[in-house]
Structure 1
Amino acid sequence: MIIITVIRSDGVIKGFSVKGHAGFKPRGEDIICAAVSMLAQTALLGLGRYIKEGLSFSIDDDSGILKCALPGKLSDLEQIRAEAILETMMDGLKNLQKNYARHIRVFRRRWTPC
């Protein structure tokens, strides 16, 4: 199963992680894994295009883990763009979860500072 965890603060997405494999088809043939990967990686590309400093992310193909954290401070324009990108990603992930609930779960967590 693919587990997506979305971290929010005051309703705004601050980061997300994706881990696991859907198990819908064998590795390399799984359309659910491909769809989730495409949504998450496209969101990362968009964030990287518009957030100039402080974006943190890691991708480990072997373990199937992708993590992303936004910087603590964004300009107003960066925040608007990041929110549009991430909420669009969430729309796609929620749609996948609705159609393939046995293979993907989206969880929301509240951001807590260290």
Structure 2
Amino acid sequence: MIRVTIRRKSNRLIESFSVKGHANFAPHGQDTVCAGVSAVTVGAVNAIEKLAGVQLKCKMKDGFLSGQVTSEYPPVIEAQVQLLLESMIVSLQTIEDSYGKYLQIEDQ
């Protein structure tokens, strides 16, 4: 199972996320759940870098990705980063709605 953890500040802004595990929905190379989660999460990190000009503090290895918002940004940039992260969560929830046996999201 893939476990996604979203951590929020007291003001509900996202400060970090982590993605751990493998879906085991299908054999390696054919697992569309893993591929979807990877595309959504890595795509969000790439979009934040390209569109907001911000590099999250990230770690990535087999079956693991984490991202952390490391600095205070001007309000416009902060809003862009948060919108892209919230969009990532909505996309992951869409996958979870159909494949909840293989993906669990915890929003703290």
Q: Secondary structure at the match of 1:3?
A: strand
1:92 maps to a residue whose letter is S
**Matched residue, 2:82:** 83
For 1:31 and 1:15, locate their aligned partners in 2 and report how far apart those are by CA, in whole Å: 25
Deviating more after overlay: 41-50 vs 27-36: 41-50
The ranges of structure 1 where at least 4 consecutive aligned residues each deviate by more than 6 angstroms after the TM superposition are none
**Matched residue, 2:60:** 59
Query: Deviation of residue 23 (structure 1)?
Result: 0.8
Aligned pairs for 1:85-104 within 5 A: 85-104=84-103
For 1:3 and 1:69, locate their aligned partners in 2 and report how far apart those are by CA, in whole Å: 17
Unpaired stretches in structure 1, ≥5 consecutive residues: 110-114
Query: Deviation of residue 57 (structure 1)?
Result: 0.3
1:99 maps to a residue whose letter is S
Q: Secondary structure at the match of 1:28?
A: coil
For 1:96 and 1:77, locate their aligned partners in 2 and report how far apart those are by CA, in whole Å: 29
Query: Deviation of residue 46 (structure 1)?
Result: 1.3
Q: Render the CA deviation track for 1:13-32: whole Å, top value 9, x for unaligned.
A: 11100010001001111000
> Could you state the TM-score of these two structures normalised by the residue count of structure 2?
0.92
Aligned pairs for 1:28-67 within 5 A: 28-49=29-50, 50-52=52-54, 55-61=56-62, 64-67=63-66
Give the CA RMSD over aligned residues: 1.2
Equivalenced residue count is 106
For 2:89 and 2:54, locate their aligned partners in 1 and report how far apart those are by CA, in whole Å: 22
> Could you state the TM-score of these two structures normalised by the residue count of structure 1?
0.87
Query: Deviation of residue 72 (structure 1)?
Result: 3.1
Query: Deviation of residue 74 (structure 1)?
Result: 1.3
**Matched residue, 2:27:** 26
1:44 maps to a residue whose letter is V
Deviating more after overlay: 43-52 vs 91-100: 43-52
For 1:94 and 1:52, locate their aligned partners in 2 and report how far apart those are by CA, in whole Å: 24
Query: Deviation of residue 12 (structure 1)?
Result: 1.0
